[in-house]
Structure 1
Amino acid sequence: MFSNKKRAKTLHLRGQDLSKGEPIAPPLVTSSMFHLPGDPAGHAGYGRVDNPTWEVLEHLLSHLEDAPCVAFPSGMAAISAALFATVKAGDRVLIPSDGYYVTRVLAQEFLSGLGVEIIEKRTLDYDLDDMSSYQVVFIETPSNPGLDLCDLAGVTARVRSAGGVSIVDNTTMTPLGQRPLDLGADIVVASDTKAPGGHSDLLMGHVATRDETLFGRVVSWRKMSGAIPGPQAAWLLHRGLETLDVRFDRMCQSALEIATAFEGHKNLISIRYPGLPDDPGHLIASQQMSTFGFLITMTLKNESAAERFISGCKFLRPATSFGGVHSSAERRARWGDDVPAGYVRLSVGCEPVSALLDDILNSLSSI
């Protein structure tokens, strides 16, 4: 898990290597060209390949992941890089049928057209599969939006023993809440648009791996595809990462308190939160996660009830995405997820939990 010493070092990673008079905050470098007389070897050459602001960000991301990292302009850019760096024609790729839907669309609409066979299974079924027939296995645990879990160490061990590559989307938990590389994953991908950025003002993602060959492939993909992050977003993400620890702790603690208060509520058909002792994923979550996250899912009786609940909360923003300092909620069926019409994904933010809980319970009780 992520030790307190590493948490403290996160705030001083850049500062410990500064020379006298250098700025503590990293400079924002927007240049596409660099002064490059003579032999260019070993020096920044062109903005599609080199950027000092990215380098500072990737240094911090690598500290958080304890692995080399490559920054991308969105979470889907990171997922695309990981898949295109590992998949070739003739491969069989396993994708979660209940995970983030855009990953499935990417696989079905683009990878399948390149001679890749796409297999979809529920996250819960990953624990039952021997993984021997896949060259690449994409894992998302907890799944988004259902919050189902699989045994990361067990699944990645079976993938590796069969000679495959495992890719884990760790967006919902961040490196502070779950450590897929320590549990055997070959590659981690994440949308840093969510909790790492935290303020709903940037799009970013990253890929992390301890495998030198895979790392080189991901770097090459970014260079050749042009899927590069903007320096402004990279600078904002670096700033966001410095407060991730305190925000993530507040969000997760609040989520546990809110989920506990939801149990047995007359207007809820069901609730999912891995921190609840009777949640189906609680045992696995307790073993492989250092906290239970900030996402709660709940099912109300129908679409109208769900929309009234969301609109009735002063301290909930009706918006897609999650992980911001502002609590937010949305009815996921509107995007085509295979969930009931009254299914709501709630992202708990950084508001004082007493005020947030009162607001949510008042709205829930009034529908």
Structure 2
Amino acid sequence: MKFDGFETLAIHAGQEPDAGTGAVVVPIYQTSTYAQDGVGGLRQGYEYSRTGNPTRAALEECLAALEDGVRGLAFASGMAAEDTLLRTVLSPGDHIVIPGDAYGGTFRLVSKVFERWGVSWDAVDQSDNDAVRAAIRPQTKVVWTETPTNPLLNITDIEAVAQIAHDAGALHVVDNTFASPYLQRPLTLGADVVVHSTTKYLGGHSDVVGGALVTSDAELGERLAFHQNTMGAVAGPFDSWLTLRGAKTLGVRMDRHSANAEKVVAALEGHPAVSHVYYPGLDSHPGHKVAERQMRSFGGMVSFSLRDGEKAALKMCERTQVFTLGESLGGVESLIEHPGRMTHASTAGSPLEVSADLVRISVGIESGDDLVADLLQALES
């Protein structure tokens, strides 16, 4: 009998009890090298841990199952995963389309590294299919999507944009970090590759840095694996083990993140100090219908603008007591940040520059009532 419920896969995919001891948790294979069965003879496929490690292999199999892909690859960070992917599929003279409010690290990688390598790029509002189509050039090899985007929570119709990319002979890549595979599976909607910062929701406990690629294309998976080994920015065995541990509870955590976010949004909407709330679960959000169709629920990320501008935003970030001022997201603890001066500072002076009145929060799994109370007291003048 085949079991394919998400929560079951998260706990069991790639994680059979250890054959030697019966241990139900994958061991940490903290080793760099492996004894060989003769010259050139691998023992169970392993020779050197940059090329392959049993703990990392378990994580990669689990990630592929969670995203309904055929190949998963684990990296030392989300940016290492992005860099490896782009160096695999792009060459000088190629063109990439990125979101108009892309994550600052992605923007920096494309504009400061790949542009110097001869890759051109355009940033467009990918909630507008016509804008994506208009940005395509003969040289376009990748359409890079975030949905929801970071930090404005814009929504892209994955199925539609995948078709636009494929009609142009380009790959469609989706950064699924904000949604996680529990809330959204881009590969099932037509995307070619999914990217994750596993530091965030997949790890879930703010104690590990990692990244991942998952693809539904076996041949592309082989090319990515070649570059993963060649470039070497792989996830270590302990980091892989921590990420596997986090993935086991992803489903129940995402349910709580989403439920708490809805409480927070209800409190922020209509508050006199708040001029706008960005959250795809709101009926007023322009991408709500698309998000409702392609997501299980709307996630734990919320952004909002303050009427009194940057000064009020900075003050609020300093006043919270349960929300910790920090530059990450997706952990069990709630975080607050000022994107313009923190995660998206690299976009200053560019078309992707973030408004100074914007605050971004990662809603954790604490008491929802406590989170609401903390934000309300921090908004008091």
Q: CA deviation at 1:109?
A: 2.2
User: What aligned pairs does 1:1-367 form with structure 2 within 5 A after superposition?
Assistant: 5-13=5-13, 16=16, 18-19=18-19, 21-42=21-42, 43-67=45-69, 68-130=71-133, 131=136, 133=138, 134-300=140-306, 301-335=308-342, 336=345, 337=347, 338-364=353-379, 366-367=380-381
Instruction: Give the conservation status (yes or no) of the 8 Å contact 1:136–1:165.
Output: yes
1:71 aligned counterpart, secondary structure: strand
Structure 1: 5+ residue runs without aligned partners? Answer: none
Aligned-partner residue type, residue 53 of structure 1: T
Q: CA deviation at 1:305?
A: 1.4
Figure out how many residues of one structure are paired with residues of the other and give that number.
Answer: 364
How far apart in 2 are the matches of 1:256 and 1:323? Answer: 16
Show CA shifts across 1:119-175 (max 9, x none). 222333454332463221111111111111121110101111221111111110011
1:28 aligned counterpart, secondary structure: coil
Show CA shifts across 1:50-105 (max 9, x none). 11110111121111111110000111111111111111222121122311122122
CA shift in 2, pair 1:127/1:234, >3 Å: farther
RMSD: 1.8
1:182 aligned counterpart, secondary structure: helix
- Percent identity over the alignment is 35
CA shift in 2, pair 1:120/1:47, >3 Å: same
Q: CA deviation at 1:41?
A: 4.0
TM-score (norm 2): 0.91
Q: CA deviation at 1:18?
A: 4.7
CA shift in 2, pair 1:15/1:92, >3 Å: closer
Structure 2: 5+ residue runs without aligned partners? Answer: 348-352
How far apart in 1 are the matches of 2:273 and 2:280? Answer: 20
CA shift in 2, pair 1:109/1:302, >3 Å: same
TM-score (norm 1): 0.94
Q: CA deviation at 1:35?
A: 0.6
How far apart in 2 are the matches of 1:214 and 1:125? Answer: 28
Aligned-partner residue type, residue 57 of structure 1: L
Instruction: Give the conservation status (yes or no) of the 8 Å contact 2:32–2:48.
Output: yes
Q: CA deviation at 1:115?
A: 2.4
How far apart in 2 are the matches of 1:254 and 1:150? Answer: 24
How far apart in 1 are the matches of 2:23 and 2:17? Answer: 11
Q: Equivalent residue for 2:350?
A: none
Instruction: Give the conservation status (yes or no) of the 8 Å contact 1:298–1:345.
Output: yes
Q: CA deviation at 1:5?
A: 2.4
Aligned-partner residue type, residue 117 of structure 2: L
Show CA shifts across 1:27-59 (max 9, x none). 111111111141434431112111111011112
Q: CA deviation at 1:321?
A: 1.1
